[in-house]
Amino acid sequence: MIKYALFARLEAKPGKEAEVQQFLEAGLAMARDEKTTPIWFALRLSPTTFGVFDAFEDEAGRQAHLNGPIAQALMAKAPELFAKPPAIEPIEVLGLKTPRPHPELSG
C-alpha cells in the first residue's frame, strides 16, 4: 500500500518559469525509470510556483528517491532556476483512490 510521500514546493526565479516547466516535464522520464516510485506528479501551483508530489510503498522507496537522479538533478539546478531552495516535505498518505491501472503509472 502507498503510505509514504514527498511534496516539493519550487519557486521559480523571475523569467525562469518556462525553464522550470521544461525541467519538470523532463523529470517524468527519470521518474518512469525509478521502480520504487509508482506515483509522480509535476504540478504548476501558480504562475511562478511549481511542485512535485510523489508517493512510495515504503520508507526505503522514499529514501531511494531522495538519493536518486531526480533529486540530484533538482539540487544541481536549484541555484539557476529557483528563487529559494526547494522545500521538500515528507508526507504520510492516509488514503488513496486510483482508477484502473494506467501504463503511465506502472513505470
Query: What are the residue boundaries of the structural domains of the chain, listed by start?
Result: 4-94
Residues 53-72 have pLDDT tens digits of: 999 999 999 999 999 999 99
Specify the pTM. Answer: 0.86
Of residues 78, 94, 76, the one with CA closest to residue 86: 78
Domain 4-94 top-level CATH class: alpha beta
Set of cell numbers at residue 5 = 510521500
Yes or no: say if 33 and 51 are a contact pair by the CB < 8 Å rule: no
User: Rounded to whole angstroms, how far apart are CA atoms 48 and 45?
Assistant: 8
Quick one: pLDDT at residue 99? 75
Which of 16-20, 68-72, 96-100 has the least mean pLDDT?
96-100
The pLDDT score that the predictor gives to residue 103 is: 60
Q: Model confidence over 34-60: pLDDT tens digits? A: 999 999 999 999 999 999 999 999 999
